[in-house]
Amino acid sequence: MLARLIAPGRWPRRVTLLYRPLSAGDAARVLEREVTAASFRATYRAQTGRDATARDTADAQRAHRAAAEEALGAGVTLMSLYVTTTVLDAAELPVAVADVESRADESKIRLRRMYGSQAAGFATTLPCGICPPVLSRRWPH
């Protein structure tokens, strides 16, 4: 799935995956929310007379399977993906951004831009152990 995003391109790119394990209690709450949301969507579709889409069916199955696995002792992690790209000329930046966004879209990954946090985003992609969620808890705004 990530192959298109991490494949070589015109501009150098750095892709970093961060994962944080959830505590057992938090994992149970998150998965219960997903199962409840899937059940709510199914009930709503039934009341409005709509058919389930393939994505709805897959999401419900995935939520129930994850909840069952967690009940048997599996862990749950939150994953974040950071992508930085480097251009030598500021005029190339819009094209480079469009390239990264199209690659992410082809990989079915939703990216959000970091406005005003470019230094932190770049530092996150370096192999030096920076984790923005941890930093935000230590130094709130």
Predicted structure pTM score = 0.71
Task: Give the least confident one: 8-12, 18-22, 108-112, 116-120.
Answer: 116-120
Percent of the chain clearing pLDDT 90 (strictly above): 46
Rg of the chain (C-alpha set): 19
**Residue 98: predicted pLDDT:** 94
Tokens of 97: 């951004």
DSSP state of 2: -
Q: In angstroms, rounded to a whole number, what is the distance separating the alpha carbons of residues 101 and 113? A: 10
- With cut-offs at 50, 70 and 90, classify the pLDDT of residue 127: confident
pLDDT of residue 100: 94
Spatial distance between the Cα atoms of 49 and 39, rounded to a whole number of angstroms: 15
Based on DSSP, count helices (H) and strands (E) in the chain, helices before strands.
6, 2
Residue range 20-39: mean pLDDT, rounded: 92
Query: Strand, coil or helix: what is 74?
Result: coil
- Amino acid (1-letter code) at residue 109: I
Do residues 2 and 79 touch, judged by C-beta distance below 8 A? no
